């Protein structure tokens, strides 16, 4: 089973990103679970969402305590929450940022960390505002490419089926993030 934990702030789309990932995996024939965990709902408050993906039926309904992947949609959460908690030794953290200060990288320890500026991508595609970009589809495109858990076609199809507004802009953001990660991998 592949387990993914999303950390974001209310309004960034962590819950929707988790659900879109599950829908994309389902479209590829996998068994999935997706669910959020949050306190008082309000814009800007920390939100955690979980996605489980497996080729067999998933019977475990618990939260994810040992994720394979962690997606951090707001880098300020890294110093507020232990985003590395339970991360498997071979796990990966995807952070929505173009750079991170050394002190934040130290907090992340030895984990494999990949950065993608999903905020810039979302803003460029008119998703949210510059102050409050909605980064869910951009971060999902980057995650799909990095993890290889789902394909880009399934991500686009999940967006088509579940995103009520700006469908093409959301798909374009996912494609741009996918392509950016692919280019980064090719240059390493």
Render pLDDT for 44-67 as a digit per residue (tens, 0 to 9).
788 899 999 999 999 998 889 999
- Put residue 13 in one of left, alpha, beta given phi > 0 → left and psi -120 to 50 → alpha: left
Look at residue 182 in the predicted model and tell me its pLDDT.
80
The reported pLDDT for the residue numbered 92 is 95
* pLDDT of the residue at 160: 96
The DSSP element (H or E) to which 69 belongs, if any, is: strand 69-72
**Which alpha helices (DSSP H) does 9-166 contain, by range?**
14-27, 102-108, 118-124, 136-147, 152-162
Q: Which domains does the chain have, with CATH numbers?
A: 2-187 (3.40.920.10)
The pair of three-digit structure tokens given for residue 173, joined into one six-digit string? 């953001």
What is the per-residue pLDDT for 42? Answer: 65
| Distance (Å, whole) CA 85 – CA 67 | 9
CA dihedral 114, 7, 121, 109 (to 10 degrees): -20
pLDDT digits (tens, 9 = 90+) for 76-134: 999 999 999 999 999 999 999 999 988 888 889 888 999 999 999 999 999 988 888 99
- Please tell me whether the overall predicted TM-score, pTM, comes out greater than 0.85 for this model: yes
Query: How far is Cα 66 from Cα 63, in angstroms, rounded to an integer?
Result: 9
Residues pairing with 69 in the sheet: 4, 92
Confidence band (pLDDT; 50, 70, 90) for 187? low
Buried b (16+ CB within 10 A) or exposed e, 63-73: ebeebbbbbbb
Residue 24 banded pLDDT, cuts 50, 70, 90:
very high
Helix, coil or strand: residue 94: strand
């Amino acid at each position: 089973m592949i387990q993914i934990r999303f950390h974001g702030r209310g309004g960034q789309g962590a819950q929707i990103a988790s659900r879109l990932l599950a829908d994309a995996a389902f479209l590829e024939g996998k068994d999935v679970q997706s669910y959020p965990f949050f306190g008082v709902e309000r814009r800007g408050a920390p939100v955690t969402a979980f996605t489980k993906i497996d080729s067999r039926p998933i019977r475990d309904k618990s939260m994810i305590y040992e994720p394979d992947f962690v997606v951090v949609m707001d880098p300020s959460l890294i110093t507020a929450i232990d985003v590395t908690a339970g991360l498997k030794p071979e796990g990966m953290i995807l952070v929505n940022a173009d750079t991170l200060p050394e002190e934040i990288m130290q907090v992340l320890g030895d984990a494999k960390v990949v950065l993608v500026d999903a905020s810039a991508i979302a803003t460029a595609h008119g998703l949210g505002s510059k102050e409050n970009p909605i980064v869910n589809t951009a971060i999902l495109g980057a995650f799909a490419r990095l993890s290889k858990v789902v394909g880009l076609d399934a991500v686009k199809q999940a967006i088509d089926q579940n995103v009520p507004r700006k469908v093409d802009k959301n798909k374009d953001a996912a494609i741009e993030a996918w392509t950016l990660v692919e280019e980064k991998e090719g240059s390493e």
